[in-house]
């Protein structure tokens, strides 16, 4: 499996809803500003984690964001 782009890409060219910014209004951080160590997709693309770990990390991010809302 090759990840060519983030599955969470919203309308717009460089936004990522894996890492939402909530201040001052709800908006999304540009992908380039997220360091590799914090982005499961970048970790996967660089070969640091496998597909199973990618899936686990994305579920953990969803769960964390769901609990903060």
Give the whole-angstrom CA distance, residue 32 versus residue 7.
Answer: 16
Q: Is residue 38 part of a domain?
A: yes
Q: pLDDT category, 62, cuts 50, 70, 90? A: confident
Q: Are 41 and 6 in contact (CB under 8 A)?
A: yes
Q: Has residue 2 been placed in a domain?
A: no
More confident residue, 30 or 5: 30
Q: How many CB atoms lie within 10 A of CB 39?
A: 19
Name, in order, each residue with C-beta under 8 angstroms of 32's C-beta and a sequence gap of 6 or more. 14
Number of domains in the chain: 1
Give the model's confidence band at 59: pLDDT under 50 very low, under 70 low, under 90 confident, else very high: confident
Asked if residue 11 is part of any domain, the answer here is no
Q: Say which residue the tokens 């890409």 belong to.
A: 9
**Residue 57 is part of which domain span?**
34-68
In a domain, 53, yes or no: yes
Domain for residue 21, yes or no? no
Q: Is residue 39 part of a domain?
A: yes
């Amino acid at each position: 499996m090759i990840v060519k782009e983030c599955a969470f890409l919203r309308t717009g060219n460089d936004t990522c809803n894996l890492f939402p910014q909530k201040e001052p209004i709800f908006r999304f951080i540009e992908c380039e500003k997220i360091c590799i160590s914090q982005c499961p997709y970048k970790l996967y693309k660089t070969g640091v984690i496998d597909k199973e770990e990618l899936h686990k990390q994305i579920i953990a991010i969803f769960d964390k964001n769901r609990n903060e809302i």
